[in-house]
Amino acid sequence: MVYLDNNATTPIDPAVSEKMSEFLKSQFGNPSSLYPIGREVKEKITSYRELVAKALGADRSEIFFTGSGTESDNFAIKGVIEANPEKNEFITSAIEHPAVLETANYLEKMGTKVTYVPVDRQGMIDLDFLRNALTSKTALVSIMHANNEVGTIQPIEKICKLAKEYGALVHTDAVQSFGKIDVKVKKLGLDLLSVSAHKIYGPKGIGALYIRKGTKINPFIHGGHQERRLRAGTENTAGIIGFGEAVRIMLERGDKDKKHIEKLASKLKEGIEKNIPKVPFNGHPTERIKGTLNFSFLGLEAEAILLSLATKEIYVSTGSACSEDSEDVSHVLRALGLKPEVARSTIRMSLGRFNTEQDVDFVLKELPVIIAKLREISALDIDEY
């Protein structure tokens, strides 16, 4: 199998699943219990909270475990908007993950004024538009760090500086950037930041939200005292252990993954561009997550490519994992200005820690043949694009 869908989810690192299964077999205590078997679990959670904080350049008290990246986004956005009713304006971008866009949609229905910042052809947000949209009533700006479909990295430092001039808080969805580029909350100037474990070789169903000390935010789940009363409910202890262990491995490996992925991705990109005609590349030439490759194979339907590749056990995506079952053209590619027929011919390949040089060689051997065959039988005329 050649798995090239690491932006959808990453395979769990064997060291992570081992740590989790050891923990599940031996430690069942409730971290809120005061006797030793509870306290031991509580201590483990604390030490892993500390590790997540370290990876983000934050303080341990600023990290809140959640049930997913989606929940972190919901928590940040609804929590801040609800806690600041005197300021009822929210700004986001047109290319956010549905976790942010659908939350914005909900808030709009509840009476919040929402502004969507457009992006250019390379997926970079329009900073002048953002400057003009900011007012003293803006409670929160939420712009993603790196896009999940095309990988474009947004200028978060500049966004934070601009927002501060208007007294607005800034949240970023760093689900796709965490573990791939430097994500330090203080350096970037952020108030809130979302991450998710299953994109960094950890388990699914566990995420975290960084909330800068002193940020006015409402609880997301009401109940007991867990997560400093902001996200109640007995902790997903095994999930936290897995997440923390994935972060520990990430810190230990330093920039090994980054170098490995960049080398493979650049070989794959060059190979595709050299061997297959009419394949425009989508995304930013430099400001992007290098392991994300997004190509339009003009004249073809992406699904046909995906299914042909799957017969060779090569797994890619036609867009964001969350829109896979939707008939719609990807909102990200639409926002970039791609024609619908071009967007429909688009494939995302995302590389990860466990990909190898052989994987790339195999794709470069199979893909040109598949594209040539499909184009031979395609009714669409490439030259019309």
Q: Are 367 and 272 in contact (CB under 8 A)?
A: yes
For the chain, the residue count is: 385
- Return the number of the residue (199 or 212) whose C-beta is nearest ligand PLP: 199
Residues paired with 5 in a beta bridge:
350
Q: Is 16 in the site for ligand PLP (CB under 6 A)?
A: no
Among 5, 89, 173, 245, binds ligand PLP (CB under 6 A): 173
Of 67-75, 107-115, 121-129, 334-342, the window that binds ligand PLP (rule: CB under 6 A) is 67-75
Among 6, 10, 68, 317, binds ligand PLP (CB under 6 A): 68
For ligand PLP, what does the binding mask look like between residues 140 and 159, x meaning CB under 6 A?
----x---x-----------
- Return the number of the residue (71 or 191) whose C-beta is nearest ligand PLP: 71
Residue found by looking up tokens 């006015």 in the block: 216
- Return the number of the residue (9 or 215) whose C-beta is nearest ligand PLP: 9
Among 31, 123, 179, 207, binds ligand PLP (CB under 6 A): 207
Quick one: which of 239, 183, 215 has its CA closest to 66?
239
CA atoms within 13 A on the CB side of 283: 29
Active site residue 322: yes
Q: Is 175 in the site for ligand PLP (CB under 6 A)?
A: yes
Compute how many residues bind ligand PLP; rule: CB under 6 A. 15
Choose the catalytic residue: 83, 94, 162, 322: 322
Kindly give, in sequence order, each residue whose CB lies less than 8 Å from that of residue 134, ignoring residues fewer than 6 positions away.
91, 141, 162, 163, 165, 166, 168
Q: Is 99 in the site for ligand PLP (CB under 6 A)?
A: yes
- Return the number of the residue (49 or 87) whose C-beta is nearest ligand PLP: 49
Among 321, 364, 374, 382, binds ligand PLP (CB under 6 A): 321
Of 79-87, 173-181, 219-227, 332-340, the window that binds ligand PLP (rule: CB under 6 A) is 173-181
The least distance separating ligand PLP from the CB of residue 224, rounded to whole angstroms, comes to 23
